[in-house]
């Protein structure tokens, strides 16, 4: 009789343990309470079932087993290299001398770099190109605040600014650039999404929280930022096609002083490359990791990083940016899904050569 009773309790405990679909909600107290209702207090304390039930419960509670899930989607693979390799660059003796200095770790002063005869800019524009590069390098090294801005507009009505991104850099002595990034979404256009010509990345700001403001508050906020960093602190306005950004600001009633210092990363890339001057192509050319472009906050941040790189003599020497040539990204469009691209490597030497 007692054996039958024990068997029934065992069956009950097992059924309670294994028939509950949500094992995470299973608790030791619940099962022991259910079991103890069948047993007397003395029998429960001395019963081997107490040990048995605890063991089963601990097993269930502590087991983190999850079935292995294999993706049914097999990504497409490509043959390395993803884009055409850059054309062979004719390295002059003056450029090679600078490269040797970089490799050996010797300091290259700004004046030594700018006065070197290694520059091979677009024919007929050599003087203007070098003058603009000199101006931008001087601004980057002036110690003035850098404030990069980017606007996103609604593709069906470009007069409607949907997002504004701001990236501010005021402290220059840190090893890693200290950049404060802000993403503002205009409340009146919150539901308007781009899909036809550029991807919708409004929800993918990589710098933290996004601020939702009315159009009027957005205007006041941006005007105060420009007043503080550009007017009062004599800062430098940075943008990828600066004229376009200033035009957007003017359309929403934000004014910037006429003699503002500017660094245009698109114009800087055009000194070096024919075609392929989008922000995406610029970041690829500079080998700066990026993600979720066409979010205004992200674009402002990456534009500032691009400006720092394009005005760094070491970067320019290493990547042959002082020789005008076709861009390997000319005529190519960015893949905006931000997913990994897989390339099958057959020849390791090709990878080594690309480094």
CATH number for 181:
3.30.420.10
- CA 29 distance to own-chain centroid: 48
Q: Which burial class, exposed, middle or buried, applies to 44 when counting CB atoms under 10 A from its CB (0-12, 13-18, 19+)?
A: middle
pLDDT value, residue 70: 57
Residue 355 in domain: no
Q: Are residues 226 and 128 in the same domain?
A: yes
Q: Are residues 31 and 141 in the same domain?
A: no
- Taking the C-alpha atoms of residue 273 and residue 325, their distance in angstroms, rounded to an integer, is 5
Residue 88 in domain: no
Spans of the chain below 50 pLDDT: 2, 5-6, 9-24, 26-29, 31-32, 35-36, 44, 49, 51-61
**312 phi, psi to nearest 5 deg:** -100, 115
Which strands sit side by side in the sheet containing 261-264, from one edge to the other? 211-213, 180-186, 157-169, 146-154, 236-239, 261-264
- Taking the C-alpha atoms of residue 247 and residue 229, their distance in angstroms, rounded to an integer, is 19
Q: Are residues 55 and 149 in the same domain?
A: no
pLDDT value, residue 73: 61
Residue 68 in domain: no
Residue 85 in domain: no
- Taking the C-alpha atoms of residue 89 and residue 107, their distance in angstroms, rounded to an integer, is 24
Residue 69 in domain: no
pLDDT value, residue 23: 47
Q: Are residues 270 and 203 in the same domain?
A: yes
Q: Which burial class, exposed, middle or buried, applies to 197 when counting CB atoms under 10 A from its CB (0-12, 13-18, 19+)?
A: exposed
In the chain the beta strands, taken as DSSP E runs, fall at 77-79, 146-154, 157-169, 180-186, 211-213, 236-239, 261-264, 273-274, 325-326, 342-344
pLDDT in tens, 168-195: 999 777 888 899 999 999 999 999 998 8
Domain that holds residue 25: 2-62
Which token pair is 61?
Answer: 């509670």
pLDDT value, residue 28: 45
Write down which residue in 62, 80, 106 finishes a domain.
62
Write down which residue in 30, 62, 94 finishes a domain.
62
pLDDT value, residue 31: 47
Q: In this structure, are residues 145 and 155 in contact, taking their beta carbons and an 8 Å threshold?
A: no
pLDDT value, residue 66: 52
Identify which of 90, 119, 121, 118 has the alpha carbon closest to the alpha carbon of residue 272: 121
Q: Are residues 214 and 129 in the same domain?
A: yes
Q: What is the distance between the terminal CA atoms of the chain, rounded to a whole angstrom? A: 80
Which token pair is 348?
Answer: 């390791």
Residue 70 in domain: no
Q: Are residues 154 and 30 in the same domain?
A: no
Write down which residue in 62, 79, 103 finishes a domain.
62
Which token pair is 69?
Answer: 């899930």
Q: Are residues 223 and 133 in the same domain?
A: yes
pTM: 0.76
Residue 141 in domain: yes
HSE-up of residue 151 (Cα within 13 Å, Cβ side): 25
What 3-state class would DSSP assign to 236? strand
Q: Are residues 150 and 32 in the same domain?
A: no
Q: Are residues 144 and 289 in the same domain?
A: yes
Q: Are residues 187 and 267 in the same domain?
A: yes
Residue 107 in domain: no
- Taking the C-alpha atoms of residue 311 and residue 139, their distance in angstroms, rounded to an integer, is 9
The CA–CA distances, whole Å, from 148 to 39, 88, 298, 302 equal 74, 34, 11, 9
């Amino acid at each position: 009789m007692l054996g039958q009773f024990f068997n029934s309790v065992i069956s009950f405990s097992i059924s309670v343990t294994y028939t509950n679909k949500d094992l995470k909600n299973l608790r030791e107290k619940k099962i022991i309470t259910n079991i103890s209702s069948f047993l007397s207090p003395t029998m429960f304390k001395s019963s081997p079932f107490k040990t048995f039930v605890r063991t089963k419960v601990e097993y269930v509670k502590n087991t983190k087993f999850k079935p292995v899930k294999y993706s049914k989607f097999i990504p497409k693979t490509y043959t390395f290299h993803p884009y055409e390799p850059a054309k062979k660059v004719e390295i002059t003796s003056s450029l090679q001398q600078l490269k040797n200095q970089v490799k050996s770790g010797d300091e290259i002063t700004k004046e030594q770099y700018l006065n070197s005869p290694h520059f091979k800019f677009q024919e007929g524009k050599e003087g203007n190109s070098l003058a603009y590069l000199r101006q931008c390098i001087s601004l980057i090294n002036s110690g003035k605040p850098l404030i990069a801005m980017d606007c996103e507009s609604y593709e069906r009505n470009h007069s409607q600014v949907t997002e504004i991104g701001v990236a501010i850099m005021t402290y220059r002595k840190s090893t890693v650039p200290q950049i404060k990034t802000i993403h503002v979404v205009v409340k009146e256009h919150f539901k308007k999404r781009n899909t036809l010509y550029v991807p919708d990345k409004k929800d993918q700001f990589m710098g933290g929280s996004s601020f939702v403001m009315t159009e009027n508050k957005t205007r006041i906020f941006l005007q105060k930022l420009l007043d503080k960093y550009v007017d009062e602190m004599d800062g430098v306005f940075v943008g990828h096609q600066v004229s376009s950004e200033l035009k957007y600001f003017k359309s929403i009633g934000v004014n910037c002083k006429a003699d503002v210092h500017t660094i245009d990363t698109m114009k800087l890339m055009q000194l070096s490359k024919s075609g392929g001057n989008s922000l995406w192509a610029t970041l690829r050319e500079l080998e700066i990791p990026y993600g979720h472009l066409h979010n205004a906050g992200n674009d402002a941040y990456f534009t500032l990083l691009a400006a720092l790189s394009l005005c760094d003599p070491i970067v320019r020497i290493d990547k042959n940016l002082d020789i005008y040539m076709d861009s390997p990204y000319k005529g190519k469009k960015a893949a905006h899904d931000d997913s990994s691209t897989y390339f099958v490597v057959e020849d390791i030497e090709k990878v080594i050569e690309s480094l």
